[in-house]
Amino acid sequence: MEQAMGSQSPALRLLIVDDQPLIRRALALTLCEAPGIEVVGEAADGHDAINKAASLEPDVIIMDLQMPHVGGVVATRKITARQPDTRVVVLTTFDHDDLVFDAIRAGAHAYLLKDATEDVVLDTIYAVHRGESRLSPSIARKVLDQFRQLPRHDGAAADSAAHALAPALEGPAPAANPGARLERADLLEEPLTSKEQRVLDLIAEGVSNKEIASTVFLAEGTVKNYVSRIMAKLHARNRIELAVRVVARRD
């Protein structure tokens, strides 16, 4: 598990939003024990979340999606519009396509399913606080499947996808013709080794480091080193951007 909070850093202020009291309580009890995290409040629905976010000014919000009165997507959209420095981590049991893309478009910086381990949830909280984005493997595959469906030279479709994917890519939206942009970037690349290419292909399928390690018969730490080298060679800022690049290069 990553621990990104230094001993001299102020505590990361966390708001937990879920309509089930037992889940809120369990998350609060677990996360308040994590290094550098202060659970500053809980909210039972989206309306409550919007008000608590305004009054408590959390750094990160764990947001459920399906809640009464006001849902998590609407709450995420309003909170991120009013408080752009507040980062939202979706934590839900639902992985329906419409919910996934609505949440990403609303400004969520991470999308996890509730079967995620405690370490994954904590690593994600620390990561989004640093300005990164995270998607669970199954959600990453949905994003990539959506990207694959784009006509290569359809500028309007590419612009629409760029708007949807921008929060997950942590950077400016790509140009209208993503293929052309990537081809220009390719001219600057250091060639990948065969092993790096294999690891990159697995990343494009949304596979975790642990699963990659098992597939290519490497230690998980070695896989992390491979991922870092691949990102440096391809000038990518995160795994999702790597995956989108490789999908575009295949078309």
Selected residue with higher pLDDT from 37 and 93:
37
**Residue 192 pLDDT exceeds 80:** yes
- Residue position matching structure tokens 């730490």: 221
Whether the CB-CB separation of 69 and 97 falls below 8 Å is answered with no
50 confidence band (pLDDT: 50, 70, 90): very high
pLDDT tier for residue 175 given thresholds of 50, 70 and 90: very low
User: Is the pLDDT confidence value at 21 over 70?
Assistant: yes
187 pLDDT band (50/70/90 cuts)?
very low
* Per-chain mean pLDDT for the chain: 78
Is 48's pLDDT higher than 70?
yes
The pLDDT assigned to 135 comes to 79
What's the CA angle centered on 176, arms 173 and 180, to 5 degrees?
Answer: 105
Domains of the chain: 12-135 (3.40.50.2300), 141-250 (3.40.50.2300)
Confidence of residue 246 (pLDDT cuts 50, 70, 90): low
Query: 112 burial class (0-12, 13-18, 19+ CB within 10 angstroms)?
Result: buried
**Mind spelling out the 3-state secondary structure of the chain?**
CCCCCCCCCCCEEEEEECCCHHHHHHHHHHHCCCCCEEEEEEECCHHHHHHHHHHHCCCEEEECCCCCCCCHHHHHHHHHHHCCCCEEEEEECCCCHHHHHHHHHHCCCEEEECCCCHHHHHHHHHHHHCCCCEECHHHHHHHHHHHHCCCCCCHHHHHHHHHHHHHHHCCCCCCCCHHHHHHHHHCCCCCCCHHHHHHHHHHHCCCCHHHHHHHHCCCHHHHHHHHHHHHHHHCCCCHHHHHHHHHHHHC
Question: In 3D, which of 39, 36, 38, 40 has the Cα closest to residue 9?
Answer: 36
82-103 per-position pLDDT tens digit: 999 999 999 998 877 677 888 8
- One-letter amino acid at 2 equals E
Cα–Cα distance, 192 to 28 (Å, whole number) = 44
Q: For 197-213, how does the pLDDT look when each residue is reduced to its tens digit (9 = 90+)?
A: 888 888 777 677 888 89
* pLDDT of 193 above 80: yes
